[in-house]
Structure 1
């Protein structure tokens, strides 16, 4: 059974030649390619920063000592998917592929739109501690060809699935209808504190605080549902591999709902090939205001205590 707790990490087989590696709270995928050579595999997403050691250990278990892929493919460039990309690409001397609309965030031109903790839920509150900065991968990063095919991944098709980010992609293998969805959707409810521990398997909207265009996100899920996949593996949660997967995804797409409120719910971030163009104004954040208020009260109490002690010492 694929369903595991937050604290268990390891490899699981999603489909033929596709292995799912959980890294703390995010997934990477080791995907075999047909050449049958030591570098006949591709790494899809790289986890959070400093995940390179873990990925190297598992790659060696599967492919042998000093194994390296032919390429790294990123579904998008958020810190939990691209965190170890440059370290691994530099070690392996392989290219990093991403959609052209992700390029400004991977070449030092722009940060991502800031996260929105006001959408509510567990992940939204945790996101206050997460970065939204971009990376500079220099010459290591390449745009995915306009053909939507990556030479190092024969048999796989790139599906542009914007919404979570403007350049987000998913990967689909027609031969057995395997879908690597990235963060176009999740297979767990990240809004729930309990589900973040148990990882109860269910289709859910993409990670809410980092999704900057909910209209596009809904449209992307509907596109993925039309593929009728037999297996769906996402960036967060356990893979769906049962006989009802395609119908469950269709049902989710039909009933897809955005959060009730939030900075990007009514108005998306506007971006282009150079990065951020315009952002909707921030919305009221009651939690932040309470934290600021608590800090002011605590600071005032400390100042009063200090002044009182000073006065007592001088009397």
Structure 2
């Protein structure tokens, strides 16, 4: 697993499929997403390298219900005692109480989806200790605001840190060759575009995506440039 320094308080943990983010808190760490099932050992090792003992992991925010983001949530919660938080509409899927709604694939997405899906094992059901809705706030030493960004999944959420001007987008937005792009494999493309535009309106400098390299400077301008051309 590759570990990348994004900002003084944010590290990206990159897996074979997707990535997660460790965020330093005044009294420990938070994690945004958890990679595929079986990633918990690598994540715990990475956190240990950052000086984070298992009991120092306070919260795990799952940006959405897909297995490359939720796969290790149950194991990490059991190993650390961290609370798991997720969007209210995705919580039943994450708990294993409802099936994952399939994406509505565009033609170019069909072969991509077929090539990626075999590498994402089913995620074990995970507890969701708090269901998040738009406007919720988390105390991460600075305010962390929850932004409901449906479209990729019904309950997708982004996490906005206004003071740090940072945003965790999950899969609603990705990056490719330094540019921000609309995420793929969406259940509702129109809602995904609306969610992209909502995030583009935020005052941010750093954007952390579920797939693709973070944009660490000028992220707001990058998102707005893409948003202007989305149809």
Matched residue, 1:249? 223
Structure 2 stretches of 5 or more lacking a match?
none
Report the Cα offset of residue 33 of structure 1.
Answer: 1.3
Q: Which residue, out of 121, 128, 138, partners 1:150?
A: 138
**In the comparison of the two structures, how many residue pairs are matched?**
230
> SS at 2:75's partner residue?
helix
Structure 1 stretches of 5 or more lacking a match?
1-8, 189-199, 258-315
Aligned residues of 1:112 and 1:132 also touching (Cα < 8 A): no
- Counterparts of 1:50 and 1:250 in 2: how far apart (Å)? 36
- Counterparts of 2:54 and 2:149 in 1: how far apart (Å)? 34
Matched residue, 1:216? 191
Matched residue, 2:15? 23
Aligned residues of 1:52 and 1:87 also touching (Cα < 8 A): yes
Report the Cα offset of residue 247 of structure 1.
Answer: 1.6
Counting strand residues as a fraction of each chain, which structure ranks higher?
Answer: 2
Aligned residues of 1:26 and 1:236 also touching (Cα < 8 A): yes
Report the Cα offset of residue 72 of structure 1.
Answer: 0.8
> SS at 1:187's partner residue?
strand
Report the Cα offset of residue 118 of structure 1.
Answer: 5.3
Instruction: Calculate the TM-score normalised by the size of structure 2.
Output: 0.90
For residues 259-278 of structure 1, the C-alpha deviation after alignment (integer angstroms, 9 at most, x for no partner) is xxxxxxxxxxxxxxxxxxxx
Report the Cα offset of residue 129 of structure 1.
Answer: 2.8
Report the Cα offset of residue 155 of structure 1.
Answer: 1.7
Matched residue, 1:44? 32
| Structural mapping, 1:178-189, within 5 Å | 178-188=166-176
> SS at 1:170's partner residue?
strand
Asked if residue 204 in structure 1 is aligned to residue 181 in structure 2, the reply is: yes
Report the Cα offset of residue 120 of structure 1.
Answer: 1.8
Matched residue, 1:266? none
Report the Cα offset of residue 152 of structure 1.
Answer: 5.1
Asked if residue 98 in structure 1 is aligned to residue 73 in structure 2, the reply is: no
Report the Cα offset of residue 10 of structure 1.
Answer: 1.8
Report the Cα offset of residue 248 of structure 1.
Answer: 1.7
* Rg (Cα) greater in structure: 1
Instruction: Calculate the TM-score normalised by the size of structure 1.
Output: 0.67
Q: Which residue, out of 197, 204, 210, partners 1:235?
A: 210
- CA RMSD, 1 decimal: 2.3
Query: Structure 1 134/56 Cα, relative in aligned 2: closer, same or farther at 3 Å?
Result: closer
Aligned residues of 2:208 and 2:214 also touching (Cα < 8 A): yes
Report the Cα offset of residue 51 of structure 1.
Answer: 0.5
Asked if residue 33 in structure 1 is aligned to residue 25 in structure 2, the reply is: yes
Aligned residues of 2:205 and 2:220 also touching (Cα < 8 A): yes
Report the Cα offset of residue 254 of structure 1.
Answer: 1.0
Aligned residues of 1:21 and 1:29 also touching (Cα < 8 A): yes
Matched residue, 1:136? 125
- Counterparts of 1:176 and 1:94 in 2: how far apart (Å)? 23
For residues 253-296 of structure 1, the C-alpha deviation after alignment (integer angstroms, 9 at most, x for no partner) is 11124xxxxxxxxxxxxxxxxxxxxxxxxxxxxxxxxxxxxxxx
Report the Cα offset of residue 103 of structure 1.
Answer: 1.5
